[in-house]
């Protein structure tokens, strides 16, 4: 069964304190792994798509990496405005567009 597990559930950082969020996945052939950001009361905002092990993508203070079993979202020198829930999701190569979401990591960045 395709599955996505994110850790930690919540992460509290001081402004400028870099860290990483983890996404472990089990899927019958990976079509794509996605990262989203979700602010309270809003829909998820697309961040990155990763397709194969070794791939990396960056956007401002965020960098996403992918291995065969995990993805990491690295946050460098975070700011309070980076506070949000970060969702990881996967699509299996045999599942069409069906997307399995993890439970998310709630990030709090304190000034």
Partner 1 sequence: SAVISQKPSRDICQRGTSLTIQCQVDSQVTMMFWYRQQPGQSLTLIATANQGSEATYESGFVIDKFPISRPNLTFSTLTVSNMSPEDSSIYLCSVVPRTGATDTQYFGPGTRLTVL
Residue numbers of the site for partner 1 (CB under 8 A)? 31-32, 34, 36, 41-46, 49, 87, 89, 91, 97-99, 101-104
Cβ distance to partner 1 smaller for residue 5 or 18? 5
Name the minimum Å distance from CB 91 to partner 1. Answer: 7
How far is it, in rounded angstroms, from Cα 83 to Cα 90?
A: 23
Residues 6 or more apart whose Cβ sits within 8 Å of residue 16: 77, 78
Cβ distance to partner 1 smaller for residue 68 or 97? 97
How far is it, in rounded angstroms, from Cα 56 to Cα 39?
A: 24
């Amino acid at each position: 069964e395709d599955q996505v597990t994110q850790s930690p559930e919540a992460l509290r950082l001081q402004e400028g304190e870099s860290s990483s969020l983890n996404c472990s996945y089990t899927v019958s052939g990976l079509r794509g792994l996605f990262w989203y950001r979700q602010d309270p009361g809003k829909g998820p905002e697309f961040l990155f798509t990763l397709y194969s092990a070794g791939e990396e993508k960056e956007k401002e203070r965020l960098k996403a990496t992918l291995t065969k079993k995990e993805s990491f979202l690295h946050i460098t020198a975070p700011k309070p405005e980076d506070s949000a829930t970060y969702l990881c999701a996967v699509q299996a190569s045999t599942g069409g567009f069906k997307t399995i979401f993890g439970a998310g990591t709630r990030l709090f960045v304190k000034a």
